[in-house]
Amino acid sequence: MRLHHGLLWLAVVLVSAPAVASARLEVESIPPGALVTLDGEEIGNTPLQRDIDLQGAERRTVTLTLSMEAYNEATREVELVEGETAVVRPVRLITPHPLPVGAIPLPDQEAQIMDPGFAVATPDGAVMVWVPAGPFEAGYPADYQDPRAQDMNPTRRVELPGFWIDVHEVTNRQYAAFVEETGYEPPSHWGGNAPPAGREDDPVTHVTLSDADAYARWARKRLPTEDQWEKAARGDADARLFPWGDRFEQGDANTGTLVGEPRPVMSYERDESPYGVFDMAGNVREWVLGMWTGHPERLILRGGSYGATEASNNPQFAMIPFRGYVEPDLVARYMPLTGFRCVVSE
């Protein structure tokens, strides 16, 4: 009997022992494979999912450090709460690089909400992000069948040096500063040197390739090549069809006629590339430097726009590898749909 009571007492102790308080932690990085250190202890590589002991508390604030060879370390403070999942993604690891000429670092308050690798380039005040050197897959997959995929099928491996690119399309506000300082002719629909009220943060439109080039020179930049634009939209990890992946749903970007007009830059959280570049699937099409095989007179446009009517039901025009072009005598027709962004190369 004594043995029996002893076993019963042991069972009660085991059942009534308090559970260890923990929280779930999920971490992703671009590129994947980064080593994750939590308060100085290595806990695995990204993509990472792990239960973290809260050390007897209901919540715990920890410091995560992500590191990878040839990249700068990235640090995040994360609050873990018992029974909840803390998601940290994506953390972009940035390669060491010089700032573009005439650039200054972001102020601390802005840098706190952005990943490292951003800068403010003067004189246009644009936020730029660094796209590291290396290869990427350009074009459509070999099994993608569409007559408009000409010149871009199948994918091809492209090696590029690193470069800076504007996080968003040049806005009316930025273009107005250029007009004010240089006396350059403003877009025809402005009705003066200032954009329509309430439209200051929309992408500038009604600009020709020459207009875009003049702005870029003033800002001590230039227009991106097609390959630079495509790598900034796609990243270097895969041959995704959209900046966020391979699946398109209405509302992911400002494409088609659902909205029917430009929206302020960075309005669509989903329309963000692996490097943190926004509005490359929608909002307005963008001038780039390139040549159409067999038709050197064609001017090249990349990216989707709010006016691509077919994209309402078919995301073809929003796909990263899709190439648009304009014949010189038809430029005026596409001006309401067309803007641009700039780059700074090494």
Assign 69 a pLDDT band (cuts: 50, 70, 90): confident
**269: which residues sit within 8 A by CB, 6+ positions away?**
none
Q: Backbone phi, then psi, for 342, in 5-degree steps?
A: -120, 165
Check if the beta carbon of residue 31 is closer than 8 Å to that of residue 93: yes
Assign 109 a pLDDT band (cuts: 50, 70, 90): low
| Cα–Cα distance measured from residue 102 to residue 81, given in angstroms and rounded to the nearest whole number | 44
| Cα–Cα distance measured from residue 102 to residue 75, given in angstroms and rounded to the nearest whole number | 27
Return the exposure string of 263-299: e unless at least 16 CB atoms fall within 10 Å of the residue's CB, then b: bbbbbbebbbbbbbbbbbbbbbbbbbbbeeeeeeebb
More confident residue, 41 or 329: 41
pLDDT attached to residue 12 = 44
Most trustworthy range by pLDDT among 25-34, 122-131, 143-152, 205-214: 205-214
- The average pLDDT across 297-317 equals 77
| Domains (range + CATH), the chain | 2-92 (no CATH), 103-345 (3.90.1580.10)
Assign 93 a pLDDT band (cuts: 50, 70, 90): confident
Q: Backbone phi, then psi, for 214, in 5-degree steps?
A: -65, -45
HEC assignment per residue over 251-263: CCCCCCCCCCCCC
More confident residue, 144 or 219: 219
pLDDT reading at 169 higher than 80: yes
pLDDT attached to residue 314 = 58
